[in-house]
Chains A and B, each alone.
Chain A
Amino acid sequence: MISISDVRKHYQMGPTVVHALDGVSLQIEAAEFIAIIGPSGSGKSTLMNIIGCLDSPDSGSYELAGEEVGELLPDELAEVRNLHVGFVFQTFNLLPRATAIENVELPLIYRGVGARRRRAAAEQMLERVGLADRMTHLPTELSGGQRQRVAIARALVGRPSMILADEPTGALDTRTGEEIMALFEELNRDGVTLILVTHDQALAAHAGRMVRLLDGLIVETRAGVAV
């Protein structure tokens, strides 16, 4: 479903050119659970941004759901993100003044879905992540784990091709982190494609496949323990 081949991306940092990605190729199948790991500076954030259509590669090809998305304009990328990508961030990134259900509705607003259908879909997703009784709470009235569940519901509500999770347990305590990972595994069993970006090897062990990045190159690929 995702086909990345020989993708390169470099940045000018003062006098030196940093090769954030130096020819990366990667295939991700639908319903797969894949972890991308690597230390900071390895290029994993850049790879995540490109997979998430927040950024475009300098060269190489990126096909998402059969469509080349490597050279789209910013607005076209926004549309692809809206339809195909569900983001889960380390710091949740919920809108502080919007309630849980309003946060979850957000991607559907940008898709132009009417209020009633939006609300129904958001309610369904919040129930799915176990927050049926917290729908009208503001983020500040929720615990860290609950906030991340809202974020996951928001990522899922548009039925995207993939969930892109960037250190989703990084801001949570161990036990809550495990609960969130359990939820991810459950979603994956239901057929959701999951891409987990982390520096934590133990977390990556939950995935079906693990890709290790170093200095802009994939240095290791191996099947995980779980699944």
Chain B
Amino acid sequence: MNARAQLVMLWENGAMSFRSILSNKVRAFLTALGVMIGVASVIGLTALGHGASLSVERRLSTLGANLLIVYSGEPRGTSLVRQRTTNIAPMLTADDLAFINSLPSDLVVRTAPESSRNGQLKFENRNTVATVIGTDPDYPAIRNFQPMYGAFFSQLDMESRRNVAAIGVQTYRELFPDGRDPLGETIRINGLPFRVIAIMEEKGSPAQDASVFIPFTTYRRSLSGSDNYAIINIQAASTDVMYELQETIENELLRLRRVPSMEWANFYIANQMDLIGTVTGVADTFTLLLAGIAAISLLVGGIGIMNIMLVSVTERTREIGVRMALGAKGRHVMTQFLTEAVILSAGGGLIGVGLGYLFSWGAQRFGRLASVVTPDSVLIAFSFAVVIGLFFGGYPAYRASRLDPIEALRYE
């Protein structure tokens, strides 16, 4: 046959398949249902997994950019950043901090040491407990935790060991339930007077919102008496140098402590990269798992198509015989049934894509779940559906093409 005749055949096959599918809409729908659900679940579940991963990443990035945190004490597994840093014996020394600050600016941008403990806060007749954190003016920049009202304490406050406090939003609400402007008011922390200079932005976690920030110098003099730090926050120059920086600091701190390895160290370093990697790694594994389960349902959908196509071939044995008598060759019959299977699976896939988007939208709207449809999942699920149509439609189509025209014509 020439190319034009091939084209005629292809077109007619498509038209015939459509007519045959439309002639039994309920069955076509039920046949394609498996693929629909399969494609929808691949897309929907991947969207959920991806959404979860994204929201974790977003939440982690609110901790600050390129963050490296040196903690006092034993490492605690793959610790998430400990928000409440009280009760850590401060074992990081001024020498440690001096070393880190001496590193070139293409490694370290800025540092902020901190120590903290629980404190009793009082304003007029209101009492509350909060984490009192002594730190450095660079803290807000490093931890991405800015005052929403007023200004954080300055280098001058630090040097002058002023009794100034930037209070967390929850602490503000506890102490100033009437909602008054707290700037300039004097609160008492463990009995000592502090002037309120800022309200910190809301972070949504009690650990951060029920806190009070004061200059480290003041903290040392008034609350702890120790020169050491519990934590040193470090902002690295870029994500690329974070592991290098971590190693440099570890080596130097080990050397300063005359300790052979991290196993014996009284400090450890949490790397934001690890954190993001671990959490998104878990989310990605989860996504893969969901997609795997969904893919199985897609496969089952394919078997459904094969099942119905086999029935359809049997039912239409006589039609096949007539077509053969009129001059249809094996491959004509084969392509006709293959086209039908692919139209069913591709149609089901298309509807499945729509359902997947709908599912994702619904999860977000009504389930309040982060859900982001990835174009990859749409593409993969849809192509997989088409391939499944070809694969599972292949056997029934082959059977149809191998029928003996005489037998087929005689079939009742």
A-side residues, CB < 8 A to B, are: 49, 52, 54-55, 74-75, 78-79, 81-83, 87, 89, 93, 95, 97-98, 106-107, 109-115, 154, 158
Q: Which residues of B contact A109 (CB under 8 A)?
A: 8-9, 12
B171 to chain A, nearest CB (A): 77
Given B1, B23, B326, which contacts A112 in the complex, CB threshold below 8 Å? B1
Assembly CA distance A112 to B20 (angstroms): 21
Q: 1/0 per position for B303-323, CB-CB distance to A under 8 A? A: 000000000000000110111
B13 to chain A, nearest CB (A): 9
Tally of contact residues, B, Cβ under 8 A? 29
Given B19, B323, B326, B330, which contacts A97 in the complex, CB threshold below 8 Å? B19
Identity of the chain B residue whose Cβ is nearest the Cβ of A93 in the assembled complex? B322
Assembly CA distance A154 to B322 (angstroms): 11
Contact A97 B20, beta carbon cutoff 8 Å:
yes
In the assembled complex, B241 has its CB within 8 A of some CB on chain A: no
> Contacts A49-B406, A54-B405, A54-B406 given: A113-B325 contact, CB under 8 Å?
no
Q: Which residues of B contact A55 (CB under 8 A)?
A: 406
Q: Which residues of B contact A114 (CB under 8 A)?
A: 4, 8
> Contacts A54-B406, A93-B409, A112-B1 given: A78-B9 contact, CB under 8 Å?
no
Assembly CA distance A108 to B331 (angstroms): 16
> Contacts A93-B318, A98-B19 given: A83-B327 contact, CB under 8 Å?
yes
B-side residues, CB < 8 A to A, are: 1-2, 4-6, 8-9, 11-12, 19-20, 23, 318-319, 321-332, 405-406, 409
Q: What is the predominant secondary structure among interface residues of chain B facing chain A? A: helix
Contact B327 A78, beta carbon cutoff 8 Å:
yes
Assembly CA distance A81 to B9 (angstroms): 17
Contact B19 A111, beta carbon cutoff 8 Å:
no
Assembly CA distance A52 to B23 (angstroms): 32
Contact B409 A78, beta carbon cutoff 8 Å:
no
Q: List the 6 closest pairs (A to B, CB-CB), nearest first.
A: A112-B5, A82-B327, A110-B327, A78-B329, A93-B322, A107-B326
Contact B328 A95, beta carbon cutoff 8 Å:
no
Given A83, A110, A115, which contacts B332 in the complex, CB threshold below 8 Å? A110
Q: Which residues of A contact B1 (CB under 8 A)?
A: 112
Contact A154 B326, beta carbon cutoff 8 Å:
yes
Q: Which residues of B contact A107 (CB under 8 A)?
A: 326-327
In this complex, the member of B9, B328, B331 whose beta carbon has the largest number of chain A beta carbons within 10 angstroms is B328
A97 to chain B, nearest CB (A): 5
Identity of the chain B residue whose Cβ is nearest the Cβ of A98 in the assembled complex? B19
Assembly CA distance A114 to B2 (angstroms): 12
> Contacts A111-B5, A112-B6 given: A78-B324 contact, CB under 8 Å?
yes
In this complex, the member of A87, A93, A107 whose beta carbon has the largest number of chain B beta carbons within 10 angstroms is A93
> Contacts A54-B405, A97-B20 given: A113-B8 contact, CB under 8 Å?
yes
Q: Which residues of A contact B409 (CB under 8 A)?
A: 54, 89, 93
Assembly CA distance A55 to B6 (angstroms): 26
Q: Which residues of B contact A93 (CB under 8 A)?
A: 318, 321-322, 325, 409
Q: Which residues of B contact A110 (CB under 8 A)?
A: 9, 323, 326-329, 332
Q: Which residues of B contact A83 (CB under 8 A)?
A: 327
B400 to chain A, nearest CB (A): 14
Contact B326 A79, beta carbon cutoff 8 Å:
no
Contact A106 B326, beta carbon cutoff 8 Å:
yes
In this complex, the member of B20, B23, B325 whose beta carbon has the largest number of chain A beta carbons within 10 angstroms is B325
Q: Which residues of B contact A98 (CB under 8 A)?
A: 19
Q: Which residues of A contact B332 (CB under 8 A)?
A: 110
A209 to chain B, nearest CB (A): 25
Contact A87 B326, beta carbon cutoff 8 Å:
yes
- Listed A/B pairs (14) with beta-carbon separation below 8 Å: A55-B406, A79-B327, A79-B329, A82-B327, A89-B409, A93-B321, A106-B323, A106-B326, A109-B12, A112-B2, A112-B4, A112-B6, A112-B8, A158-B327
Assembly CA distance A97 to B312 (angstroms): 14
Assembly CA distance A37 to B183 (angstroms): 115
Identity of the chain B residue whose Cβ is nearest the Cβ of A49 in the assembled complex? B406
Assembly CA distance A158 to B327 (angstroms): 11
B323 to chain A, nearest CB (A): 7
Assembly CA distance A143 to B318 (angstroms): 21
Q: Which residues of B contact A78 (CB under 8 A)?
A: 324, 327-330
Contact A75 B329, beta carbon cutoff 8 Å:
yes
Q: Which residues of B contact A52 (CB under 8 A)?
A: 325
Given A74, A81, A112, which contacts B325 in the complex, CB threshold below 8 Å? A81
A49 to chain B, nearest CB (A): 6
Identity of the chain A residue whose Cβ is nearest the Cβ of B24 in the assembled complex? A97
Given contacts A81-B327, A93-B409, 16 further A-B contacts (CB under 8 A): A49-B406, A55-B406, A75-B329, A79-B329, A81-B326, A82-B327, A106-B326, A109-B8, A110-B326, A110-B327, A110-B328, A111-B327, A112-B1, A112-B6, A113-B5, A114-B4
Q: Which residues of A contact B325 (CB under 8 A)?
A: 52, 54, 81, 87, 93
Q: Which residues of A contact B318 (CB under 8 A)?
A: 93
A74 to chain B, nearest CB (A): 7
